[in-house]
Amino acid sequence: MDPVPPNGIALLDKPGGITSHDAVARLRRALGTRKVGHAGTLDPMATGLLILGVGPSTRLLTHLVGLDKEYTATIRLGVATSTDDAEGEVVSAGGAAGVTETAIQEGVAALTGDIRQRPSSVSAIKVDGVRAYDRVRAGETVELAARAVTIREFALLARRDASAVEAADPVVDLDVRVRCTSGTYIRALARDLGEGLGVGGHLTALRRSAVGPFRVEDAVPVPEWNEAGEPVPLLAPAEVAARLFPVLRLTAPAAADLANGKRVAADMPDADAVAALAPDGRLVGLVEVRGGRTRVLTNFPAEP
């Protein structure tokens, strides 16, 4: 009998120095399958939570991409870089002497709530079909349009006065926690905070601690290239869907009908997305509920 193909959601804790695509490639090798996708990447310098879908569970990824994110980060005031993070070239370095605690708190408050944010020019956003960072590497000047994002929390955790080789005067390092909507650039927050204070700023460390209800504390390390080591645990699609959406528990006949794309009765309030589970707990599909009837959004195949 052929082995059952892997199916589920992997929570990985990405280390610094590798790309998110490296993490995908390693998981593919560890699980022996090509069907692995991600619900949002992290820059190579960043660490923390990556959510990857395996097998049929890749169908859930579209519902994970837009979840709120939480990060811890370190912002250096007094030095600005071409990429708004520590990997770029220094473009100004006057230091942050004289920046007061009150000014920092006011700058943070101004960047909290509903704001318009201009993404970094070296982001992965496409401009006429070409990613912005590729245009910058080709020598073009790229200015991306500002977009609406919501910063639900921008909390100062610690302040450290420091020195930097490239800065004429002392710099200030801020440890922060940010909870925000999907599509927010934390390095742009660092840049904008520094610009607002008149001293420049950039991101020196970034860790994604949560995506929606999923936390990095529940993640496992990215597999190594060798095939030895602990197997990678996968969350069942039903478990993931039940943490994201209301649950509709189906009878066996209703589960069979829904699997065939039919509308079935749903004794529950209207909802844009509901996890429909079979009597054995398997995720049959994600459905919309209107007027006590379902409409299939995404079906999931029965496991072998």
Q: Is the distance from CB of 30 to CB of 64 less than 8 angstroms?
A: no
43 flagged as catalytic: yes
Residue-level pLDDT at 162: 85
Closest CA relative to residue 244, chosen from 216, 275, 285: 275
Residue boundaries of the structural domains of the chain: 8-67+213-221, 69-208, 237-299
Q: What is the pLDDT of residues 108-121, one digit of tens each?
A: 999 999 999 998 76
Fold of the 237-299 domain: 2.30.130
Q: How far is CA 48 from CA 14, 26, 122, 252, in A?
A: 5, 16, 21, 40
237 confidence band (pLDDT: 50, 70, 90): very high
**What percent of the chain is modeled with pLDDT above 70?**
89
End-to-end CA separation in angstroms for the chain:
11
Confirm or reject CATH 3.30.70 for domain 8-67+213-221, answering yes or no.
Answer: yes
Mean pLDDT of the chain: 90
Fold of the 69-208 domain: Pseudouridine synthase (3.30.2350)
Q: What is the pLDDT of residues 148-198, one digit of tens each?
A: 999 999 999 999 998 887 877 899 999 999 999 999 999 999 999 999 999
Q: Which of 13, 43, 84, 85 is catalytic?
A: 43
